[in-house]
């Protein structure tokens, strides 16, 4: 029996904080063989994107010492910064979070990279994992 089409959340991208894009691009492109996807800067970060199936790996380099990525690197060093899930209905998902008492970074969706509506959940509510939600 064919399985029904998959709906619901999927991983849109994984954001990885690095000190230098230049020093890390070749691992993903040349060694792992992921195709590079041009992405615009967002949230104070320069971004190098790579396609991994339907998901992206995004290397995030701080644009300035005040940017959130710089603060993350100071505190925790390079590593996974956030996981972004694409959900069917961002407003409804945020409302479910709110009802469940999950602390939000963004009370209402804002415009993030590539003009998409996004919202971050607070990592204190999600076992230390910074979760971004988007719609596609």
Residues that bind Co ion (CB under 5 A): 15, 84, 132
The residue (of 15 and 49) whose beta carbon lies closer to Co ion is 15
Residue reference for tokens 């993903």:
28
The residue (of 48 and 101) whose beta carbon lies closer to Co ion is 48
| Minimum distance, C-beta of residue 70 to Co ion, in the bound complex (Å) | 16
| Minimum distance, C-beta of residue 63 to Co ion, in the bound complex (Å) | 15
Structural element, H or E, at residue 84: strand 79-86
The residue (of 17 and 99) whose beta carbon lies closer to Co ion is 17
Indicate if the alpha-carbon torsion angle 60, 68, 62, 79 is positive or negative.
negative
**Are 45 and 22 in contact, with CB atoms under 8 Å apart?**
no
| Minimum distance, C-beta of residue 3 to Co ion, in the bound complex (Å) | 29
């Amino acid at each position: 029996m064919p399985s029904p089409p998959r709906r619901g959340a999927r991983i849109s991208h994984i954001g990885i904080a690095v000190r230098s894009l230049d020093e890390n691009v070749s691992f993903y492109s040349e060694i792992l063989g992921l195709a590079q996807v041009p992405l615009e800067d967002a949230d104070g970060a320069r971004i190098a994107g790579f396609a991994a199936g339907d998901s992206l790996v995004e290397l995030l380099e701080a644009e300035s010492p005040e940017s959130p990525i710089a603060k993350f690197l100071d505190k925790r060093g390079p590593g996974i910064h956030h996981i972004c899930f694409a959900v069917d209905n961002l407003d409804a998902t945020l409302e479910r979070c709110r009802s469940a008492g999950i602390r939000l970074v963004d009370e209402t969706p804002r415009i993030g990279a590539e003009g998409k509506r996004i919202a971050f959940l607070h990592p204190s509510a999600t076992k230390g994992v910074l979760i971004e939600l988007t719609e596609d």
